[in-house]
Amino acid sequence: DKRIIAVNPAFTRITGYALEDILHQNPRILSSGQQDEMFYQTMWQSIEQHGYWEGELINRRKDGQLLPELLSISKVFDKEGNVMNYVGMFLDISARREAEARIQYLAHHDYLTNLPNRLLLVEHATQGRFSLYVLANTFIPPNNHDFASLRRCSFTRNHAK
């Protein structure tokens, strides 16, 4: 019967749950619903077969915020080799996920204008996210300072006023 019997101060600081809040609760109390039942079945199967599991998952803090974690769960054995408990340790990877999202955004958007850049256009085009009509009517100057070419394009397409 997998129940929480102890937490350390770091757990309380990160999740917002004090021991009194979750003592004897099933660890499912932390679940965000981001992983399906098959994920957890596979995780516990790995723990039973290999004695441990490591991976990323998304739990939920007491205040409802999502908590991306790098989690490790291991079996704890008594002197006779019987499973006595399970120990879980996790690393809050929220800052890393935010940094990854920021890097992705900066890779696909102009730093000054926040407009999508050529890389994003090429990625969307190669993934079929644009119709042929949009691609046929899109003009990208050879460089960001080639406004004369853009103006000529506007005149030839009757977009100039």
pLDDT 10s digits, 57-83: 999 999 999 999 999 999 999 999 999
Q: Which region, left, alpha or beta, applies to residue 95 given φ > 0 means left and ψ of -120 to 50 means alpha?
A: alpha
Beta strands in the chain (DSSP E): 52-60, 66-77, 83-92
Residue 84 per-residue DSSP state: E
**What is the pLDDT at residue 79?**
96
Q: What is the DSSP letter of 29?
A: G
pTM, two decimal places: 0.69
Residue 155 carries which side chain, given as an amino acid letter? F
Q: Which two tokens stand for residue 22?
A: 């979750």
Give pLDDT tens digits for 140-152.
Answer: 555 555 555 545 5
Residue 146 has, within 13 A of its CA and on its CB side, a CA count of 10
